Amino acid sequence: MISIRPVVFAACLFASGIGCGAAGAQQTPPVPTPVPGGETAVPDAPSLEGQDIPEEAIPVPELKPGEQPEPGAADPQPQPAPEPESEPKPTSADTPEGPQAAPQGPAQPSPAYIPPEKARTRPEPSAPTTPEAAVTPEESVEAAEALLDAETCEGELKKRGVEFSIGDSIADGDCGVLRPVTIKSLSTGMTVSPDTQMLCRTALALDIWVAEGVVAAAKKALPDEELSSITHASTYVCRARASESRISEHSRGSAIDIAAFGFRSGKSITVERQEPASADDRFLADSRRAACGPFRTVLGPGTDADHDTHFHLDIAARNNGSTYCR
Q: What is the pLDDT of residues 90-139, one digit of tens each?
A: 554 445 554 555 556 566 656 666 666 665 566 666 667 767 767 788 88
What are the b/e assignments for 76-93, b being 16+ CB within 10 Å?
Answer: eeeeeeeeeeeeeeeeee
42: pLDDT strictly greater than 80: no
For residue 170, what pLDDT is reported?
94
| Burial group, residue 238, by CB count within 10 angstroms (0-12, 13-18, 19+) | middle
Q: What is the mean pLDDT of residues 17-42?
A: 47
Which of 149-158, 204-213, 243-252, 283-292 bottoms out in mean pLDDT, i.e. has the lowest?
243-252
pLDDT digits (tens, 9 = 90+) for 243-281: 566 788 999 999 999 999 999 999 999 999 999 999 999
- Of 199, 160, 153, the closest CA to residue 176 belongs to 199
* Closest to 207 in 3D by CA, of 62, 313, 283, 119: 313
Pairing of strands 191-193, 227-234: parallel
pLDDT per position as a tens digit, 185-207? 999 999 999 999 999 999 999 99
| Least confident interval from 14-23, 46-55, 148-157, 204-213 | 14-23
Helix intervals (H) in the chain: 5-15, 22-26, 137-160, 200-209, 215-221, 279-291
Q: Are strands 297-299 and 170-172 parallel, antiparallel or unpaired?
A: unpaired
Give burial (CB, 10 Å; 0-12/13-18/19+) of 170: middle
Round to whole Å and give the CA distance between 292 and 35: 162
CB 228 within 8 A of CB 263: yes
Flag whether pLDDT at 4 surpasses 50: no
* Helix and strand totals (H; E) in the chain: 6, 13
